[in-house]
Copies of this chain bind each other. A is one copy, B any other.
Amino acid sequence: MISVEEAQQQVLSRISVLEPERVGLLDSLGRVLAEDVVSDIDVSPFDNSAMDGYAVRYVDVRDASEDSPTVLRVVDHIPAGVQPEIVVNPGQAARIMTGAPIPMGADSVVMVEHTRPDTGEGGIGDTVAVLRPVTLGENVRSRGEEVREGQSVLLAGETIGPAAIGLAASVGHAELAVRRRPRVAIVSTGDELVDVAEKPGPGKIRNSNSYSLAAQVVQAGGEPHVLGVARDTEDSTRELLERAPEFDLMITTGGVSMGDFDVVKKVLEEIGELEFWRVAMRPGGPQTFGTIGGTPFFGLPGNPTSTMVGFELFVRPAIRKMAGFTSLVRPRVVATLTHDTRKKADRRYFLRSRLTRGADGGYTVAVSGNQSSALLTAMHRGNCLMSLPEGESFVAAGSEVICIRLDVEEGTA
């Protein structure tokens, strides 16, 4: 048996980042950028107004005040999107909208709130009274002020969120090069499994693991491919396991404990390479890892909770590494345990638990249901795995324990 950390390190040492692919902007959401995004324009692309107001010559209005306003003649009216063709000469101003180009001659913008119509309504041909001075360049966004053509606005390795998508669009990228989503094959094993739509006969149970696993794969950023159920024979198991090289990663559930009909490990040793098969943890000691034709292979235990916990600890970091993420560890918090807990001293426990934040900002934690359940109720009601270390056989109420948050993404502060 190896420790959880040894197993995690051994897994990640076998995982490589996948190649990039080009996808449309919206498809890049949540994925990892594979190359820098370079601007094809200056931003701003031209000197433009940051406010609705009047474009003026700074020297004209530097003495303007409420008591002694400067009166200017309005010679143009410039909406956004229009290239002005009239020059603002001394004693003149142009009505200008936010985002519109600054006309020749003008160098600053007076906010509309700091003006008052003098004759007419402040339109072309009218005069406007400026009530406050401006500084040179005030309310003007200069060309290239934020980004110069050829400069990078996003860097390879960054995760694409809505703001990154907007940024990329602003600088001319309708597609982005991002890391490919890992294609993950899912195989369930066991003669006892029947389909969800079927009512289980005597001795049978429903194959729920392929559904929960597919959902976990989606949440981790992978693309699930449910291949079906292998029966408890070497032939049936080999037939599905041999398909591993068609995918980036393969997961099986069941068939890896010490039962006499557990053939997954046997077939893995025959057609691939076994790296480890026992981890000092509970639930789910029999966590098998190896490769088949170079494809990483995870033989998770068949109990639904053990399957999900094994996925969280070993498969999710592997999928994220393949997808280009560098944060591979879920956030941990320290919480105060609200009840006594007994455990076996020889292994790490991961109790399905619920964290609650108190008014003081501190956390308390309690198990979220029956830990030996065949159902996923405690996993569903929980939001973390309470990690209780090897070497302890009793953890008292009031102890501080480490909790692995399942409700928060890796890399979150």
Q: Which residues of A contact B (CB under 8 A)?
A: 25-26, 29, 40-41, 43-46, 48, 50, 52, 77, 79-83, 95, 97-101, 112, 141, 146-147, 153-154, 158, 161-174, 190-193, 196-197, 199-200, 202-209, 211-216, 218-219, 224, 232, 257-261, 302-304, 308, 333-334, 355-357, 361, 363, 370, 372-377, 379-380, 383, 407-409, 412-413
Contacts and interface: CB of A to CB of B under 8 A. Distances in A.
Contact of A170 (B100, B154, B261, B376): B376
Given A81-B193, A82-B203, A261 B208 contact: no
B172 A80 contact: no
23 contacts: A26-B214, A29-B219, A41-B199, A50-B372, A79-B191, A79-B259, A81-B203, A99-B190, A101-B202, A154-B380, A158-B380, A161-B219, A161-B380, A162-B213, A162-B216, A162-B219, A164-B380, A166-B308, A166-B379, A169-B196, A170-B206, A357-B413, A383-B412
B202 A165 contact: no
Contacts of A334: 361
B412 A375 contact: no
B79 A170 contact: no
A interface: dominant SS: loop
B43 A375 contact: yes
A309 to B, nearest CB: 11
Contacts of A204: 45, 81
Contact of A163 (B190, B200, B376): B376
Nearest to A96: B259
Contacts of A257: 52, 98
B361 A259 contact: no
Contact of A259 (B82, B97, B170, B206): B97
Contacts of A81: 190-193, 203-204, 232
Q: How many copies does the complex hold?
A: 2
B79 A232 contact: yes
Contacts of A168: 211
Contacts of A374: 43-44, 141, 146
B199 A379 contact: no
A101 B80 CA distance: 76
A211 B169 contact: yes
B407 A413 contact: yes
Given A161-B215, A169-B196, A212-B165, A98 B259 contact: yes
A50 B52 CA distance: 73
A402 to B, nearest CB: 12
A337 B270 CA distance: 60
Question: A-B pairs with the 9 shortest C-beta distances?
Answer: A81-B192, A166-B212, A169-B208, A81-B191, A162-B215, A163-B379, A163-B380, A83-B202, A80-B192
A308 to B, nearest CB: 6
A79 B370 CA distance: 25
A203 B166 contact: no
A248 B197 CA distance: 33
A82 B206 contact: no
A172 B199 contact: yes
Nearest to A113: B258
Contacts of A361: 333-334
